[in-house]
Amino acid sequence: MVAMFSSRIRFHFQRLLRRGAPLLLIAATGSAQTGGEAPAAEQIVRPDSRVERLAQYFRTRKSPLDRFAVHFVIAADRYKLDWRLLPSLAMLESGGGRVYVRNNVFGWGSGRARFQSIEAGIDHVAQALAEGIAYRNKDLRAKLRTYNPANRRYADIVFRVFRDISPEAPLLGEPAAAAGGK
């Protein structure tokens, strides 16, 4: 029953996304046995301005990734990453999803990694950046040095895309002098 309920929600959620609705899906994690909290199978959908901001950013750059904006935000929240990180990497590594192979919009694994779908790639890269041995316990700048060690300025370039996506949001992991703008 839960699997059927989840696939039904997923279907309606994807339909809303195709229509351009800026939504974020949040799973209730409580248990019915812990004093009336919502069961884990129930889903709550609420507006999230980051999704619309990201979709608009992709659209203005003629990126086909606009329809995946909600997936970027959900993955970032799930793995406690800055919501602009994955879209920034995709913009730099695949031109925002204009040039990629094997559903790999991040150039992951030197471009050789293969994913079942773009959504699966988003989730995989988010999890790796948050929990992977090479990345865990590192600040954002150190993660970016690990992600692309050949380019010493890579973190600065990524932070510039961060500001393009959302200039109001603080730049986590960037030195205060650079955050003021150059």
Whether the per-residue pLDDT at 47 is higher than 50: the answer is yes
Long-range contacts (CB closer than 8 Å, 24 or more residues apart) made by 58-64: 58/87, 58/96, 58/97, 61/91, 61/96, 62/96, 62/98, 63/91, 63/95, 63/96, 63/97, 63/98, 64/96, 64/97, 64/98
Q: What is the pLDDT of residue 176?
A: 39
Query: Using one digit for the tens of pLDDT, what is the confidence trace for 78-136?
Result: 999 999 999 999 999 999 999 999 999 999 999 899 999 999 999 999 999 999 999 99
Q: Is the pTM of this model over 0.85?
A: no
% of the chain beyond a pLDDT of 90: 64
Q: State the average pLDDT for the chain.
A: 79
State the pLDDT at residue 55: 96
The pLDDT value recorded for residue 9 is 52
Q: Which residue ranges form the domains of the chain, and what is each CATH number?
A: 1-47 (no CATH), 49-179 (1.10.530.10)
